[in-house]
Structure 1
Amino acid sequence: MSLFRFDAAFRDEFRTNWPVLLLGFSCLFFGFSAPAFALPFLFTEVIKEFGWTREQATLIASTKYLAGAVSALLVGRFLDITGVRTALLATLGLGGLALLSLLWVPNLTAYYIIGMVMGLAGPGAMVAVKVMTSRTFHASQGTATGIVLLGTSLGSIIVPLAISYLIAAFGWRMGFAALSAGIWLVALPMLLFFFPLAARRPPPDPAELKVDGAIEAKPGLGQVFELAKGKSFWILGVTLFIGAMVDQAFIQHQVLILSDLNMSREMVALAISAMGVVGIVFRILLGNLLDSTSNKGLSALYTLLTAASLLAFYLVNPFLLMSFVVLRAAGHAAILLDVNVMTKHTFGLKNFGTMIGVYTAIVSVGFATGPWVMGRLFDMYGNYHIAFLIFAILPLVGAVLIWNLKPTYWLAAKAEKAALAAKTESAPVLP
């Protein structure tokens, strides 16, 4: 079996549905990335201005992702009933308003409320884009998701450099407000005037209708509750929570971690942007890998989170810092892909929007927990050493769990395609 594919089925899907990829990419680049990748640069500024502790400053990430859990559930259920345009307009608009609101933040209460608004925006938009992609691409779902997620990869390169410049030039309040321009001027107009026909709930791949009746099932929360009684539901949920917790702990604290090494803000921005550059390759490469290897491949990728956590002890060494950047980029790419790919591989397209919403909510709780735990441990011990150890062990637990998950839908689809191929090869050739 080849690990990587780009066969006729892949090419046909890309040729027909490339406008969906462009739309998803644009929504994630302009709408999702600005709040997500600029936020760590906010912490040093508010600590300096208000005198807050690291736990207080970084807790906005936790409020953001707890609100994101609610948003993911609501948006996911909404998407099983209707299309994605309304969801994307609402969520991206909220993200733009949250960035503008930082112009007037006076205290911790307002600060956390803004974090909640960011949470209603980001995870909801991510759910909508992932559902749109998975409904449109079947044979190439993982690869297509990786391409769409290049929007976040490019954002992770540009946003740190942009916010570093904007803060230096205009101050942190005006700098964050200026980041919302891409939402108002590009993302929202694209949704209003250039929404592709392929994104309007496209028909499923006919070849996959035979797999467990998954696509033919009517949406209903009762079926979701039935799935929740099974072991697979919880294995996947716990694994996703662990991966999200570890990943976001490092993302939200990485500016502080690197600043502790006496790096300038500009050098920190370059290091973080370098992760985005490396991530461009990993988004597509790992998406394609998961198309072919499913849970086994994801299990191996989770060990990269452990390796990055251990390397965090030695970032004063330039070579190890570069290795850390590469491993963090790969690990983060895996975390962005795991929800979308493994939910479909395990459960198919039954109530897919709702299921993506449920698992994105679980991921959002993990995102909320990780930064808080890391900040709390730093304030308790005065360094990140205990946190690095804990976040090195947890991904190994996730790797074992996901290895034992059975991707029922993916295996059935694979068997169906193999049977069709064998039947075609054995058919007599007419003279």
Structure 2
Amino acid sequence: MGTMVSETVAGKRPLFFYGWVVVAVGFVTLGIAFGIWYSFSVFFLAIIKNFGWSRAAASSIFSVFIISQALTGLLAGHLQDRFGPRVVIPVGTVILSICLALTSQAQSLWHFYMAYGVFAGAGVSLLAFSSHSAFIPKWFERKRGLALGIAMSGIGFGMLLLVPLVEKSITAYGWRATYLYLSGLVLFVAGPLNVIFSRRRPEDLNLRPNGDDPEEKDKISRRSMIVKVVDQNWANQDWTLKKAISTQRFWSLLMAFFFGSWVYQGVLLHAISAMVDCGLQRESAAYYFGILGIVGAGGKILFGYLSDVLGRERITVLAGIFVVAGIFCLMGMTAGTGLLPLFFAILFGLGYGAAAPVFPSVSADIFLGNSFGLIFAVICIGGGVGGSLGAFISGYLRDVSGSYSFSFYLYFISIFLSCLFICLAGPGKVRRMVLLKRMRSM
């Protein structure tokens, strides 16, 4: 006793809930955005070959990109709260398209810093992770993790489709022409989709979260999953950014994002390079990277759903174990290591896949409200700083030591700390999903 149950329960619903259209559009948009984002791991080697730069110098372009998208996330979150995806995401597609075209003409490092790092990073932020994480949770309560998992699985499909295609395009037409092709893709696909179909919240269509009918909320299946509010005082707070940053949970989430992104961005930028160092051909490495992407898509859906059912903390730790196992496989590769590249792609892909739905779900469980977009955007700055450092330092350590071994050990420490801080944030102590019949027995 002593706990409260959310008012959102399974009642009469329309045959089809429009929230899933929003999720589908997010799937496509995120696939394009992150396919472009992670294709830099292929451009990375082509740019080094073209200009003769060190890996640290080339990595710094990606680091600037990550910091820019994280800082712009503050604006993206605020704009999503105020205007919604029909305005914010198309603006982002125009900015990103122009900047990719400018990147195709870059002749020096500072050109890359400005065109790709600063401005393309800002454009991606308006249509990528923090932007979608600001409005999709408003459409769902019971299936929040699953909905985010499906939308974020577009990231994996984007990696699967775009990264190998980018590799082939660079080989056939060069990296400059390939950036022009990507510029057209983002402008003519992602922009129109969001103008036509995206909506900020269910109330804009006279709907409720999950598509529930409030007049029949008591007619519930005995097997329904419902949201149990464990800490009513916390959940009833009208969370603003000022209130949030005064809490231990906020800083725990920020540090969890910092250390998690250190690992994910470091590995995803340097995985192809590390496999090439081990003797794989660049085309083969890009192929395994594509497998990582599609497995990651499955991991996003699987772990997003399981985080709803089993709890965010448990799934975070389980995903961390997969990440560690995958990095061990990457460490053990040599020219003739057989299945290790495949094992790396599967294990790391599964573990990495959990981050996209679980991180915003954890944050929404704790701080959901009218200012959630802004609060989550500030939390994502931790991820931006961690990701930029992980990407740059991994390249620097490769330059000075001749291998990625030191970086791998830092990844192990970072993933442990990320899991620890999620557990310290304790989203399950604020809200968690339970079976209705279990609640009735309490």
In which range does the TM-score fall when normalised by the shorter chain? 0.7 to 0.9
Residue aligning to 1:21: 23
| Contact persistence 1:132–1:201 (CA under 8 A) | no
Residue aligning to 1:192: 195
Pair 1:177 & 2:180 matched: yes
How far, CA to CA, are the matches of 2:15 and 2:235 in structure 1? 21
How far, CA to CA, are the matches of 2:252 and 2:238 in structure 1? 25
Letter in 1 for 2:130: V
| Contact persistence 2:275–2:330 (CA under 8 A) | no
Secondary structure of the 1:404 match is helix
Kindly provide the CA deviation profile for residues 257-288 of structure 1, in whole angstroms up to 9, marking residues without a partner as x.
11112322221111111112222321110000
How far, CA to CA, are the matches of 2:418 and 2:200 in structure 1? 39
Q: How does 1:209-228 map to 2 (within 5 A)?
A: 212=232, 223-228=240-245
The TM-score, its normalising length taken from structure 1, stands at 0.87
Q: CA deviation at 1:90?
A: 1.6
| Contact persistence 2:40–2:269 (CA under 8 A) | yes
Residue aligning to 2:254: 237
Residue aligning to 2:93: 92
Residue aligning to 1:113: 114
| Contact persistence 1:294–1:342 (CA under 8 A) | yes
How far, CA to CA, are the matches of 2:278 and 2:88 in structure 1? 42
Q: CA deviation at 1:9?
A: 4.4
Aligned-pair identity (%)? 22
Alpha-carbon distance change, 13 to 322 in structure 1, aligned in 2, over 3 angstroms: farther
Choose the corresponding residue for 2:346, options 301, 326, 329.
326
| Contact persistence 1:301–1:331 (CA under 8 A) | yes
Alpha-carbon distance change, 307 to 66 in structure 1, aligned in 2, over 3 angstroms: same
Secondary structure of the 2:39 match is helix
How far, CA to CA, are the matches of 1:215 and 1:393 in structure 2? 32
How far, CA to CA, are the matches of 1:11 and 1:272 in structure 2? 43
Secondary structure of the 1:229 match is coil
Residue aligning to 1:291: 308
If each structure's helix is expressed as a fraction of its own residues, which one has the higher value? 1
Unaligned ranges ≥5, structure 2: 1-8, 218-226
How far, CA to CA, are the matches of 1:55 and 1:41 in structure 2? 15
Residue aligning to 1:305: 323
Letter in 2 for 1:299: V
Residue aligning to 1:5: none
The TM-score, its normalising length taken from structure 2, stands at 0.85
Residue aligning to 2:147: 144
Residue aligning to 1:35: 36
The answer to which of 400-409 and 199-208 deviates more is: 199-208
Pair 1:270 & 2:287 matched: yes
Letter in 2 for 1:391: Y
| Contact persistence 2:87–2:195 (CA under 8 A) | no
| Contact persistence 2:66–2:385 (CA under 8 A) | yes
Letter in 2 for 1:251: L
Choose the corresponding residue for 2:156, options 140, 153, 158.
153
Q: What's the C-alpha RMSD, in Å, of the aligned pairs? A: 2.8
Secondary structure of the 2:142 match is coil
Pair 1:391 & 2:393 matched: no
Kindly provide the CA deviation profile for residues 101-128 of structure 1, in whole angstroms up to 9, marking residues without a partner as x.
1221010000111211121122332222
Q: CA deviation at 1:140?
A: 0.3
Alpha-carbon distance change, 194 to 406 in structure 1, aligned in 2, over 3 angstroms: closer
Alpha-carbon distance change, 242 to 204 in structure 1, aligned in 2, over 3 angstroms: farther
Residue aligning to 2:271: 254
Kindly provide the CA deviation profile for residues 279-325 of structure 1, in whole angstroms up to 9, marking residues without a partner as x.
23211100001112122221232232222222221123222222211
Q: CA deviation at 1:353?
A: 0.8
Residue aligning to 1:68: 69
How far, CA to CA, are the matches of 1:195 and 1:332 in structure 2? 27
Q: CA deviation at 1:146?
A: 0.8
Unaligned ranges ≥5, structure 1: 1-7, 427-431
